[in-house]
Amino acid sequence: NAGVTQTPKFQVLKTGQSMTLQCAQDMNHEYMSWYRQDPGMGLRLIHYSVGAGITDQGEVPNGYNVSRSTTEDFPLRLLSAAPSQTSVYFCASSYGIFAPETQYFGPGTRLLVL
């Protein structure tokens, strides 16, 4: 079991560029989510998915898109990066939608937007 993997670990973008943050899990988890972590702000939920083909918005969805074509993968897309999206991004997954205590977090992607 690799758990939750995220790529890349670090990325620098220019304003207006697009990119996709990859997230994959090999635990057959239904529930996957993306958070951003900013200094003094804790973690804030961006988008989440309760299963393949089903996604929904979290607390801070603007500027981000997601899709869930398979159980394993949950990529996060930035269509036009802005400096305000400089952050550390964490992907997480859990066995069920009502079981956050089973949530596993990936190691994070550090994104810098210039």
Partner 1 sequence: GDSVTQMEGPVTLSEEAFLTINCTYTATGYPSLFWYVQYPGEGLQLLLKATKADDKGSNKGFEATYRKETTSFHLEKGSVQVSDSAVYFCALKDGGSQGNLIFGKGTKLSVKP
Residues in contact with partner 1 by CB under 8 A are 4, 31, 33, 40-45, 48, 50, 56, 58, 90, 92, 94, 96-108
CB of 75 to partner 1, least distance (A): 17
CA distance linking residue 6 with residue 96, whole number of Å: 20
CB of 72 to partner 1, least distance (A): 18
Nearer to partner 1, 14 or 39 (CB): 39
DSSP 8-state class, residue 40: T
Q: How many residues does the chain have?
A: 114
| Neighbour order of strands in the sheet with 4-7 | 4-7, 19-25, 76-78, 64-66
61: left (phi over 0), alpha (psi -120 to 50) or beta: alpha
Nearer to partner 1, 20 or 103 (CB): 103
Nearer to partner 1, 17 or 95 (CB): 95
Burial class (CB in 10 A: 0-12, 13-18, 19+), 37: middle
CB of 45 to partner 1, least distance (A): 6
CB of 4 to partner 1, least distance (A): 7
Nearer to partner 1, 14 or 62 (CB): 62
